[in-house]
Every structure is written in structure tokens, then in C-alpha cells.
């Protein structure tokens, strides 16, 4: 993300206009590397978030609320001691560095006024939040940096504060055109000019450098003109905070103005930097949390699938071995009929197989520690065990295969989940199925109803189409919500969602059936396949067998339609 000096320059102006003169009413630390300041300014409360997260360091106003720990961390207590009730006086950016300094006028326990400065350094894994006094001595930092971590710069209470090394870069707001041309023309022709800009000037990210070069073209002189025009726009505070979106509508980056390098369809203008940053990070935070929670459930499902695959292989092996049951009985009978001819302690015996049409001889392994009668009983026991296996193994294999199908269906629904509540429902389904042990503190607590609702679409013919998001919801949708004459659809022999077309007693046109079938294929494991078979029938022809797992049904009197899932068709349908 291009949280560079240019964006920070515009953000500093915006925050100072909103917060200058404001009073610090609350200080919270919901995360180990994140601080929230609640500031009362101009008749309103503003929540300022400062994060030293290595992946997403940032500072902006936020609408997001987080749960705070029962005991505030030490750094939070230090901030409360020094900053509660203070007035925010200024917000300053030194040069074009990725650093903001926030000055506060404070009153200590003796009633003396003093100046405290909160510094946030947004520098990737080196990000930090530091409180210093009027003499630039560090009072505390959210991350302590000692000599063993950095030999260049320590950040510890009582030590003087110093800026991070500048790497000899130049402030782009203070340069002249001739200086920019000289730097651009002095490079090796094979070096990319965008890389040269990021190495030579402070506060310029790769995305900003690429934009400056794109506006100027390939010639160094034209790029120098573009450079000066760009930073004149910065000096004039001519900003337009903009989100860069991907094809699915998720935010990829934030720019201080419209970057013409990208197509307009992927750019979303925002009213302020804080709005853009808050939208970006709230969505990123939701995506990361969703990914983390999904990853845990995927591991649980994967482990149980592997268990079932091993179990199924063993059951099939036992079934194959059990098919030799008649051979065990033959060996027992031959030993019994020749029991007086077999010496005790023999390791094997060769006897006439009178069941064989050719009267062939057969060698039978024996246990020398057992008598001939005990060896015969051993083979009869193997025969009886094999008979029991033959009787039960087909049923056990069917049950294991059904569990495999069920787990694969859960995995498919999980992979299509896009919201935290959908993941929570799948987790609850795994708890009900005994795949996750419920925590003791939650036992006996009445479960809440499902939080999410099925996907709802409107067909081009005006019919409502409902699509289940998980197995429990599939059961609810098909068995309780759908009417007997509604149309039911599901991919044939492919894990996926139940789809219901509400027909209100009217015939369903072929166009609607095609759209509903496309939804069934799209929300299934066959999403990336072609010519996916989709079965459809009236809801009254769908039944759930006794004891079947969630989402598992049987149906009859159905027809089959073949469709190739189309995301464009899904996107074009109206959602209810």
C-alpha cells in the first residue's frame, strides 16, 4: 500500500484542521501495537487510531470500535498519565518522511504546563509510536528498541529521540527543476526512472513514482516537468483521496489523488483521507480475520477428511480380505477331518483337498504351540470373523463415504464464505457434528439462530431465487422455507448449494430455470468447470432420509440441465 510521504502530507493537513485545539478525553490500546485517542474537537468526538503494525502501519480517524483488554497495557497507562485532558496543538510532518508528530499542551500533577509530543513512524516493520517530553527525551514507546535490535538507533525511556536515518534522500518539496533533470539524466539508461525517483527523494512510494513517470512519458526532461507539476499539486493541497479497487471490488491501494496510471473503473473517490484509510483497513481487517478463522476450520476439515480416507482404505482392505472367508472354513474342515493324522507341534501339514475336483493336495500353515484341534478352531474363528466383516463392512463403507461427502460439502461452503457470520455458522455446524470440541463455558448456553440469510436474487422474469450458504442453511431453506410447488435445484453429484425458485404457483420460464441452474453451478464445487449438470424438480419431491447429515437429501422425478457457470450472469442479476 502506498502509505507514503505524499499521502501523509495531505493527511496531516486534514487531521490538523479537524483536531487542532481538541481535548483528549480517552486513551485506549485494543491491540499490542495500536492506540486509540478519543478527542473532543469542534463539538464532536473523533477517534484517532495510531497503529505500528508491521504490515499496515497507519494513522487516521476511524469509525471502527474494538474490544479493549480488561487491564490496560503499560504504554496505554503512560499515555493516560501524560495526555489525558491535554489539548492537541499541532500535527507536523518533518520533511516528507513517513513520520507525524502530534503536539499536546499538558498540565502535570503540580499544575505546571508542558509540551508533550506523540510521534508515529509508519515504516513497515520499523514502525513505532513514541511519546517524548519537551526536551525530546523518550518517555515511552509502544516498541522498545535496544542495542541488540538496532545498533544505529535506540528507542528507550530516558534516551534522546532522533529521527530514523534519512538514507541521504532529498525532500521533493524543496528541489528545483534543474536538480530533478540532472538526477534523471545521470542514471544508467537501463535503470528504471521510477526506481531512481524512489531512491532519490523522501516520501515517494513505488506507485507514486510510477504515476509521475506515466504522466511524463519516457523522456527524463518530460518526467522532470511531471515531477514538478505533481509536487506543486501537493504544495497547493490539491488532493483527492482515492481507493484502488480490484476486479472483485476489494481495495488494493490508497492514493492521495487520482492516479491516471489505472483505469477509472477501478478508482473510487473518497471525501477524506480518513474515510479512504478507514474503508481500506476495515475491509482488510475483515478479510484477514475471515482468512484466519477460515484457515483454522480448513485445517480441521482437512484432518478429518484425511482420517476418513484412511478409514475408508482400511475398510475396503478388510472387505477384500473377508472375501476369502470360505477358504478359512475349508482349512478348518480339512484339519478336523484329518485331526488324528496331524502331529502335535507341526508348523504345517499337507492334506488331500477332497473339495477339489482334481483331488489336489493343499499345504496348511499351523501354529506349533497349538494342538490340531486348536488350529482348526483358529481357522473357524477367522471364518466367523470374516462373515461378520462381510455382513457389516458394506454398511460401514457407505457411512464413511457419506461422511466424506459431508466434509467435502462443508469445505466447499467454507471456500465460498465471504463474511465472518457465514464462517461462524460453519464452525457451529462442525461443533454440532462433533468435529470441534465446544468450550466448557459455552455448554448449556442456548444457541442463537443463524445470523446470515440465503443469497437472494431476482430472475429476469421476476422470480425470486434463494441460494443456501451452508448445509444447515440448505436444510432450513429446502425443508422449512420452501413451498411444496417451488422449484428446487442442485448440481448432480457435485457438492454445492441448494437453490429454490419461488414460483407462487406460476409456471417457471426456461430463462429463470437457466439462471437458477447457473446459480446452482456457480455456488458449487463445479464453479470452474464447463457443462455442469444441474438437477431440478419440485420441492415436494425432495426428502431427507432419517439420520442424514445436514444438507443431505434425496429426490426423484427430476430433470437435468447442463450449464457452464458464468460469473457475469451472476453479477448482472438483481440482488434482493
- Tens of pLDDT, residue by residue over 96-152, are 999 999 999 998 777 788 999 999 999 888 999 999 999 999 999 999 999 888 888
Specify the DSSP class assigned to residue 474: H
The values of phi and psi at residue 484, to 5°, are -60, -30
Angle ∠(463,465,470) on CA atoms, nearest 5: 170
Backbone angles phi, psi at 425, to 5 degrees: -65, -40
Radius of gyration of the chain from Cα atoms? 36
Give the list of residues 6+ apart from residue 228 with CB closer than 8 angstroms, or none. 177, 180
- In terms of Cα–Cα distance, which of 126, 129, 42 is closest to 83? 129
50, 86, 119, 148 from 129: Cα distances, Å: 8, 18, 6, 19
pLDDT at res. 190: 58
Contacts for 107 with CB less than 8 Å, ≥ 6 apart: 85, 86, 113, 114
Phi/psi zone of residue 470: left (φ > 0), alpha (ψ -120 to 50 degrees), beta?
beta
Domains of the chain: 5-141 (2.30.310.10), 172-279 (no CATH), 297-452 (1.10.287), 455-575 (no CATH)
Q: What is the pLDDT of residue 415?
A: 85
Residue 550: other Cβ atoms inside 10 A: 18
Give the three cell numbers for residue 127.
514502525
Strands of the sheet with 532-538, listed across from one edge: 559-563, 532-538, 487-491, 499-502, 464-467, 455-458, 574-575
Torsion of the alpha carbons at 186, 191, 195 and 199, rounded to the nearest 10: -50
pTM: predicted TM-score of the whole model, two decimal places: 0.61
The residues with which 457 forms a beta bridge, in sequence order, are: 465, 575
Choose the weakest-confidence range: 28-37, 247-256, 470-479, 565-574. Answer: 247-256
> pLDDT by residue (tens digit) across 234-272?
999 999 999 998 876 778 899 999 999 999 989 999 999
Confidence grade of residue 188 (pLDDT, cut at 50, 70, 90): low
Contacts of residues 387-396 at CB distance under 8 Å and 24 or more positions apart, as own/partner, are: 387/322, 387/325, 389/318, 389/319, 389/321, 389/322, 390/319, 390/322, 390/323, 390/325, 393/315, 393/318, 393/319, 393/322, 394/319, 396/315
d(CA 427, CA 419): 13
Q: Is the pLDDT of residue 324 over 80?
A: no
Mean residue pLDDT of the chain comes to 89
Amino acid at each position: 500500500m502506498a502509505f507514503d510521504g505524499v499521502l501523509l502530507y495531505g493527511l496531516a493537513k486534514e487531521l490538523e484542521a479537524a483536531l487542532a485545539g481538541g481535548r483528549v478525553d480517552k486513551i485506549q490500546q485494543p491491540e499490542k501495537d495500536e492506540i486509540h485517542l478519543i478527542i473532543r474537537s469542534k463539538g464532536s468526538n473523533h477517534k484517532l487510531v495510531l497503529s505500528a503494525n508491521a504490515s499496515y502501519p497507519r494513522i487516521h480517524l476511524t469509525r471502527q470500535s474494538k474490544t479493549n483488554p480488561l487491564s490496560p497495557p503499560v504504554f496505554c497507562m503512560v499515555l493516560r498519565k501524560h495526555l489525558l485532558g491535554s489539548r492537541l496543538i499541532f500535527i507536523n510532518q518533518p520533511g516528507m518522511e513517513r513520520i507525524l508528530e502530534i503536539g499536546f499542551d499538558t498540565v502535570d500533577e503540580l499544575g505546571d504546563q508542558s509540551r508533550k509530543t506523540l510521534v508515529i513512524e509508519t515504516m513497515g516493520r520499523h514502525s513505532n509510536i513514541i511519546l517524548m517530553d519537551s526536551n525530546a527525551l523518550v518517555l515511552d514507546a509502544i516498541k522498545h528498541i535496544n542495542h541488540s535490535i538496532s545498533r544505529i538507533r535506540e528507542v528507550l525511556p530516558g534516551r534522546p529521540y532522533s529521527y530514523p536515518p534519512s538514507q541521504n534522500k532529498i525532500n521533493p518539496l524543496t528541489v528545483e527543476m534543474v536538480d530533478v533533470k540532472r538526477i534523471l539524466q545521470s542514471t544508467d539508461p537501463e535503470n528504471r526512472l521510477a526506481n531512481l525517483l524512489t531512491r532519490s527523494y523522501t516520501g515517494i512510494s513505488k506507485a507514486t513514482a510510477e504515476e509521475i513517470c506515466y504522466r511524463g512519458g519516457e523522456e527524463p526532461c518530460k518526467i522532470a516537468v511531471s515531477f514538478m507539476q505533481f509536487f506543486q499539486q501537493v504544495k497547493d493541497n490539491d488532493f483527492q483521496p482515492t481507493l484502488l479497487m480490484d476486479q472483485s471490488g476489494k481495495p488494493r491501494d490508497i492514493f492521495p489523488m487520482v492516479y491516471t496510471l489505472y483505469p477509472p473503473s477501478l478508482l473510487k473517490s473518497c471525501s477524506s483521507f480518513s474515510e479512504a484509510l478507514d474503508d481500506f483497513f476495515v475491509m482488510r481487517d475483515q478479510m484477514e480475520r475471515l482468512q484466519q478463522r477460515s484457515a483454522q476450520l480448513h485445517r480441521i476439515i482437512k484432518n478429518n477428511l484425511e482420517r476418513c480416507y484412511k478409514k475408508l482404505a482400511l475398510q475396503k482392505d478388510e472387505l477384500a480380505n473377508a472375501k476369502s472367508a470360505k477358504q478359512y472354513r475349508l482349512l478348518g474342515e480339512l484339519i478336523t477331518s484329518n485331526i488324528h493324522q496331524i502331529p502335535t507341534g507341526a508348523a504345517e501339514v499337507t492334506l488331500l483337498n477332497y473339495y477339489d475336483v482334481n483331488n489336489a493336495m493343499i499345504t496348511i500353515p499351523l501354529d506349533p504351540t497349538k494342538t490340531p484341534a486348536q488350529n482348526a478352531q483358529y481357522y473357524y474363528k477367522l471364518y466367523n470373523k470374516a462373515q461378520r466383516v462381510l455382513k457389516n463392512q458394506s454398511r460401514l463403507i457407505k457411512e464413511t463415504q457419506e461422511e466424506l461427502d459431508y466434509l467435502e460439502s462443508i469445505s466447499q461452503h467454507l471456500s465460498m464464505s465471504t463474511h465472518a457470520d457465514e464462517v461462524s455458522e460453519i464452525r457451529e455446524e462442525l461443533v454440532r457434528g462433533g468435529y470441534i470440541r465446544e468450550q466448557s463455558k459455552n455448554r448449556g448456553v442456548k444457541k442463537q439462530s443463524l445470523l446470515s440469510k440465503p443469497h437472494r436474487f431476482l430472475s429476469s422474469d421476476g422470480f425470486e431465487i434463494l441460494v443456501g450458504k451452508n448445509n444447515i442453511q440448505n436444510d432450513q431453506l429446502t425443508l422449512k422455507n420452501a413451498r411444496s410447488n417451488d422449484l428446487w435445484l442442485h448440481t448432480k453429484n457435485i457438492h454445492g448449494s441448494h437453490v429454490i425458485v419461488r414460483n407462487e404457483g406460476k409456471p417457471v420460464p426456461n430463462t429463470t430455470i437457466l439462471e437458477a441452474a447457473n446459480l446452482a453451478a456457480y455456488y458449487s464445487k463445479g464453479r470452474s468447470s464447463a457443462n455442469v449438470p444441474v438437477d431440478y424438480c419440485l420441492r415436494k419431491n425432495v426428502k431427507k432420509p432419517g439420520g442424514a447429515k445436514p444438507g443431505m437429501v434425496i429426490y426423484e422425478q427430476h430433470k437435468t440441465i447442463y450449464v457452464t457457470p458464468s460469473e457475469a450472469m451472476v453479477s448482472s442479476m438483481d440482488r434482493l
